[in-house]
Amino acid sequence: MVNIDHQTDSPPMRDESLFYLFSPVTRIKGLGDATAQALVRLLPAATAQSGGGLPIIRDLLFHVPINIVNREFTCPLLEAPDGVVGTFIVRIDAHHAPTGYRGKRPYKVSCSNDTGHITLVFFNASGEYIKQNLPIGGERVISGRLEHFDHHLQMTHPDIIATVDKYEDVKKPEAVYPLTIGLSSKRIGKYVDTAIEKLPALPEWIATEWIQHNKWPDWKTALQTAHHPQCEDELSPLSPARSRLAYDEMLANQLHLAMLRRNKHQQTGEIIKGTGKLTQQLIETLPFKLTGGQYEVLAEIHTDMQSGKRMGRLLQGDVGSGKTIIALLAMLRVAEQGLQSALMIPTEIIAQQHYETIRKLTAPFGVNVALLTGSIKGKAREAVLDGIATGATTILIGTHALFQEHVQFKQLAFVVIDEQHRFGVAQRMALTNKGNTPHLLHMTATPIPRSLTMTLYGDMDASTLKEKPAERLPITTRVIPLSRYNDIMERMKDVLEKGEKIYWICPLIEEKIIEGELEITPESDIAAAETRFIEFKERFGPIVGLVHGRMKNDQRDIEMRRFASGETRLLVATTVVEVGVDVRDATIIVIEQAERFGLSQLHQLRGRVGRGSKPSFCVLLASDRASEISQARLKTLRESEDGFHIAEADLQIRGGGDLLGHRQSGLPKFIFMDLLEHHQLLEHAKTDASQFLQADPNLVSERGKSLQRLLQLFA
């Protein structure tokens, strides 16, 4: 293999020492096709380049045990307790093959030693097999779960039957892996051992002092230890071996992000000063005053944009904190200089809404705003594309369709991404790589804990909008059991008669991200919404509306408008209304099966109300059997309106993976790292990575080269 100079643009070739790790699992001696297929169900399949659809050895080695079975226990057979796993040396006294054909009678083997008797019980077993392995008169080690049946001690299907010389081996703790059909923990363990034996020792990539300080083993030993836990403590993410592996992962992650950040800072960016004309006009026409926080963020953005470097900034701001206006003012600043901006939004419905709002606000100053989504086709699309290409359009708003190849800008200088958490790091990078280097502003309404910000957005500078626009009344949140459905109907009737507007959110829809665009799937949830819609129409009459993800866009748009205008006042909706939709006089939101939503997601939904000056309510309808955890989560929500606090609490209760709700998090998948347990290590990894890069930006020192290997290992 040729080594490519690391200075070139293409990623460096994989180091030879990693070839084995990146080979398909079938490279492991003795691992056949059937096992490989079973492993496909258990592990991620490799990308076409290396594994041919099969998992790679690295992923098998990263699949670590989740439990151990302790076989150390032994006792006099007469005193054996029920339900415990134990290991014994016994003499085989007699075989009792099943007779007759009535039902499935087991094959029984009577055994004993000086301390008592035990019967081994086998269902559907081959008599031959049993006779061979448990010959009458012989002695064997047996290990398995003990039970009593009719006052007789027995062991059904011993886990282990071995010759007496294996006694000590059998008593060793046994690793238990997450499994799938066709694989046992023992088999996985065997293949893992074979693979580890083949591994080259890799030069250390962690700083010596840090290894010593933590008393961590080297990488290969750590892997080995992780696969052979001897006690419960060794399963803990804080055990030396697992901490080390987690640190490797964090270090790779932080190094990667630090490199992205550095590259971004090295890129030049258009210097945007603007004239202040359009922005000033807009500020004067707004029906409200910008908050101090909004001014601060704007100032940060302007500083970035004038620096000559490319901006990469994350704007975190709770629901309703007024991010859109910041984006718009920044885009106008760009327009003042005759350059183009794009605002990218995850769903069509919100893209349309932003388009309307922004068009209305900017029309008086002659700013040309256009909308581009997947459903704009034919002539209309051509017209939009034309406007973008000629530069007639200065602000483009749209979904991810915006960034398909044939969208050519005349001079794109600024890209804003709204509701960032729906786009993963990879998509962000795809954007970053798009030809010229526009300034980037990422806005997220999901306040996330610091540790997550670091892993998700470590490639960016961050701004936070803490303050909410003034004169907002708090939202009263209630958790109500579903059994009180009828009471709620009564209350809704009263409230609707008073002219209020209500959102009714139906249970969570499974969401899929396809090529960056949010797709909303299963029919069943839509069916639930349709059923509610029909029911409510009968109950409350024509003031009931319905929106869901399967509706045609224009249809959904019409429905949203009817709700906004007051033609309908009870809107049954699936989570399409989750983000961004702005109907200021809606005062009540009812969320069905609230326990199925992520906390942060609930918080966002709640943010649909409380946007005007009237007091608002959020009703969390929880099924009566909602688990304790769900109850605790809902309580958090009831007690706090601070998105950051809620996010932290959600992390505490559920751990990181689930934080942002079902399948929409865009969170990188961590193998060893546990956001809760390892956050201090993560801090260290961050510092470590950025300090090292400062000293050795091209990773050419000894440790630098090892770190390159680490990056490849986790690539």
288 binds, among Mg ion, ligand ADP, none (CB under 5 to 8 A by kind): ligand ADP
Q: Which is nearer to ligand ADP, 238 or 286 (CB)?
A: 286
Q: Which is nearer to Mg ion, 240 or 580 (CB)?
A: 580
Q: Side chain identity at 196, as an amino acid letter?
A: I
Q: Which is nearer to ligand ADP, 420 or 712 (CB)?
A: 420
Give the C-alpha separation, 382 to 386, whole Å: 6
Q: Does 322 bind Mg ion (CB under 5 A)?
A: no
Q: What is the DSSP letter of 23?
A: S
665 binds, among Mg ion, ligand ADP, none (CB under 5 to 8 A by kind): none
Q: Which is nearer to ligand ADP, 345 or 456 (CB)?
A: 345
Q: Which is nearer to ligand ADP, 405 or 471 (CB)?
A: 471
Q: Which is nearer to ligand ADP, 123 or 288 (CB)?
A: 288
State in angstroms the smallest separation of the CB of 512 from ligand ADP.
24
Binding residues for ligand ADP (CB under 6 A): 288-291, 294, 317, 319-325, 445, 469, 582, 584, 611
State in angstroms the smallest separation of the CB of 356 from ligand ADP.
12
346 binds, among ligand ADP, Mg ion, none (CB under 5 to 8 A by kind): none
Residue with token string 């954007």: 431
CA 202 to chain centre: 31
**Helix (H) / strand (E) containing 108:** strand 107-113
Q: Which is nearer to ligand ADP, 295 or 365 (CB)?
A: 295
Length of the chain: 715
State in angstroms the smallest separation of the CB of 445 from Mg ion.
6
- Helix/strand/coil for 138: coil
**Helix (H) / strand (E) containing 278:** helix 277-285
The structure tokens listed for 5 are: 């100079």
Q: Which is nearer to ligand ADP, 24 or 580 (CB)?
A: 580
Nearest 5°: CA angle at 279, between 276 and 282? 145
322 binds, among Mg ion, ligand ADP, none (CB under 5 to 8 A by kind): ligand ADP
Give the C-alpha separation, 388 to 393, whole Å: 5
Which residue number is nearest to Mg ion in terms of Cβ?
A: 580
State in angstroms the smallest separation of the CB of 287 from ligand ADP.
8
321 binds, among ligand ADP, Mg ion, none (CB under 5 to 8 A by kind): ligand ADP
Q: Which stretch binds Mg ion (CB under 5 A): 142-150, 219-227, 362-370, 574-582?
A: 574-582
What are the CA-CA distances from residue 688 to residues 242, 247, 249, 352, 683 (Å)? 19, 11, 13, 44, 9
What are the CA-CA distances from residue 607 to residues 292, 579, 596 (Å)? 21, 9, 18
Give the C-alpha separation, 615 to 608, whole Å: 13
In 365-411, the DSSP E strands lie at 369-372, 395-398
Half-sphere exposure of 165 (CA within 13 A, CB side): 0
557 binds, among ligand ADP, Mg ion, none (CB under 5 to 8 A by kind): none
Give the C-alpha separation, 654 to 463, whole Å: 26
Residue with token string 């601070």: 642
Q: Which is nearer to ligand ADP, 420 or 708 (CB)?
A: 420
291 binds, among ligand ADP, Mg ion, none (CB under 5 to 8 A by kind): ligand ADP
Instruction: Compute how many residues bind Mg ion; rule: CB under 5 A.
Output: 1
373 binds, among ligand ADP, Mg ion, none (CB under 5 to 8 A by kind): none
Binds Mg ion by CB under 5 A, chosen from 580, 610, 656, 666: 580
290 binds, among ligand ADP, Mg ion, none (CB under 5 to 8 A by kind): ligand ADP
State in angstroms the smallest separation of the CB of 414 from ligand ADP.
17
374 binds, among Mg ion, ligand ADP, none (CB under 5 to 8 A by kind): none
State in angstroms the smallest separation of the CB of 448 from Mg ion.
16
State in angstroms the smallest separation of the CB of 428 from ligand ADP.
19
What is the crossing angle of helices 240-266 and 425-432, to 10°? 20
Q: Which is nearer to Mg ion, 580 or 661 (CB)?
A: 580
Q: Which is nearer to ligand ADP, 34 or 363 (CB)?
A: 363
Give the C-alpha separation, 418 to 441, whole Å: 8
- Among residues 35, 26, 58, 211, the alpha carbon closest in space to that of 672 is found at 58
State in angstroms the smallest separation of the CB of 491 from ligand ADP.
27
Residue with token string 């989740």: 66
Backbone angles phi, psi at 24, to 5 degrees: -60, 150
Max Cα separation, the chain? 100
302 binds, among ligand ADP, Mg ion, none (CB under 5 to 8 A by kind): none
Give the C-alpha separation, 676 to 246, whole Å: 12
Q: Which stretch binds Mg ion (CB under 5 A): 94-102, 138-146, 178-186, 575-583?
A: 575-583
State in angstroms the smallest separation of the CB of 318 from ligand ADP.
7
325 binds, among ligand ADP, Mg ion, none (CB under 5 to 8 A by kind): ligand ADP
Q: Which is nearer to Mg ion, 458 or 580 (CB)?
A: 580
Give the C-alpha separation, 439 to 433, whole Å: 12
Which residue number is nearest to ligand ADP in terms of Cβ?
A: 322
State in angstroms the smallest separation of the CB of 462 from ligand ADP.
15
- Helix/strand/coil for 162: strand
State in angstroms the smallest separation of the CB of 476 from ligand ADP.
19
Give the C-alpha separation, 336 to 305, whole Å: 13
442 binds, among Mg ion, ligand ADP, none (CB under 5 to 8 A by kind): none
Q: Which is nearer to Mg ion, 86 or 580 (CB)?
A: 580
Residue 495 in contact with residue 589, Cβ under 8 Å? no
Residue 413 in contact with residue 324, Cβ under 8 Å? no
Q: What does the buried/exposed string (b/e) look like for 634-665 if buried means 16 or more CB atoms within 10 Å of the residue's CB?
A: bebbeebbebbebbbbbbebbebebbbbeebb
Count of Cβ atoms closer than 10 Å to residue 236 Cβ: 15
State in angstroms the smallest separation of the CB of 274 from ligand ADP.
20
User: In the complex, which residues of this chain contact Mg ion (CB under 5 A)?
Assistant: 580
